[in-house]
Amino acid sequence: MRLGELIGGESGPEVTGFAIDHRKIAPGNIFGAFRGTRANGEDFIPDAVRAGAVAVVARPEARVTGAAHVADPEPRRAFARLAARYYAPFPTTVAAVTGTNGKTSTVELARQLWRLAGHRAASIGTLGVTTADDQVSTGLTTPDVATFLMNMAGLRREGISHAAFEASSHGLAQYRIEGLPVLAAAFTNLSRDHLDYHETMEAYLAAKLRLFSEVVDSDGTAVIWADDPVSSQVIDAARARGLKVMTVGESGEALRLASRTTALLGQTLQVEADGRAHSVNLPLIGAYQAANALVAAALVIATGGDVAQTLGDLARVQPVRGRLERAALTKTCAPVYVDYAHTPDGLKAALEALRPHASERLILVFGAGGDRDKGKRPEMGRVAADFADRVIVTDDNPRTEDAAAIRADVLAGVPDAVEIGGRREAIAAAIAEAGARDVVLIAGKGHEQGQIVGDRVLPFDDVTVARECAA
């Protein structure tokens, strides 16, 4: 594709791709020069041009010499839309999910339901790019827009017709998912997270609302978990855009959760839809997993799925990696679960999900990540104190912070907890003391395969470590 076809004017040179890192520019690339929190991409425009950039997308006041200047007051959005035109076509049916918790499970369950309905489907998010045949890690919930669009286009070339992706607040605020046709968008919930970036809950919500007010197709559908305190604001944003609204939950109208009965390895949901009652045997435990499953089902229905078949297929879904995943049984036969919960609400939901399965103690091992919102650490400690019987505070991903200081922040909310800095040692201690009627929860890292200490990523998998300790 020639430059002129993308930005107008004469045909110009051949465009070979898009990049936002000047060190990755190849001849023929279009460079996105954005002002960030740590660096200003405009400072590297001369380097990008010397490396062969044929155009630079930047603010009107940026100085560009030797390449076409695509000037826009919101260069991230302009860059994304140009990239979308370049990398298209994409899967014909695309859905997006935003919210604090539940995004990963919802997009993966939607993928599974589409597959069970006979479609070739994929999910993109924290777990990477997942299809029926493969899973490839990307390392980010929402990668940079060029990588995201290349992945989506690649899925189309592989024959994928249906794709669901996680729309993180960072990705929405930074226009990393622009230009892609999105037929349906879902909202799961909102609670404290990422205030190190957004600063206020109002700004955090505003970023998520962009999915409904700007990103999803104007004739698309909004699927909204109706039992969240801010759901009315999401519904208002969707209706102001003219979207079809499908509400889900106990207060939902499209899929109303009439009742939920827990079982040893799952739960039975009574759901009302289209004037009919449906009994759903969901092989996942916990209220929040029921919520994720119903939102995923609504997305599938919103994109053409049959109501009865979709709800029936929920009985055949598989657990999502690192989401209340039963990792091992101790020598006393106490179950050990691993969950990605890393927010106060997420931790509470995981503990509440496991409470019915603990005849005696619910033992929790958790910590908090470094270089992230510090204010949520004591809040997570208070949740642990309120909902667990035995708490061991350990290291999560300290990153560049002092690990002991992070633990101290958490312990401020749960002063009676045991402190064991080494995560393996903490997991081993919890498993060693668990009795036959206890349940162990290891929270915070879920599916992650490494522990970030300083600038290093050390191999560490909670599931593997739990199995080794249990053995």
Residue 304 annotated as part of some ligand binding site: no
Residue 448 annotated as part of some ligand binding site: yes
Q: How far apart are the C-alpha atoms of 353 and 267, rounded to whole Å?
A: 11
Residue 332 annotated as part of some ligand binding site: no
Residue 50 annotated as part of some ligand binding site: no
Residue 360 annotated as part of some ligand binding site: no
Residue 142 annotated as part of some ligand binding site: yes
Residue 100 annotated as part of some ligand binding site: yes
Residue 352 annotated as part of some ligand binding site: no
Q: How far apart are the C-alpha atoms of 165 and 123, rounded to whole Å?
A: 6
Residue 104 annotated as part of some ligand binding site: yes
Residue 103 annotated as part of some ligand binding site: yes
Residue 464 annotated as part of some ligand binding site: no
Torsion of Cα atoms, 461 then 407 then 382 then 261, to 10° = 10
Residue 221 annotated as part of some ligand binding site: no
Q: What is the CA radius of gyration of the chain?
A: 23
Residue 279 annotated as part of some ligand binding site: no
Residue 102 annotated as part of some ligand binding site: yes
Residue 397 annotated as part of some ligand binding site: yes
Residue 262 annotated as part of some ligand binding site: no
Residue 169 annotated as part of some ligand binding site: no
| Residues placed in the known binding site for ATP | 99-105
| Residues placed in the known binding site for meso-2,6-diaminopimelate | 372, 396-399, 444, 448
| Residues placed in the known binding site | 99-105, 141-142, 168, 174, 176, 372, 396-399, 444, 448
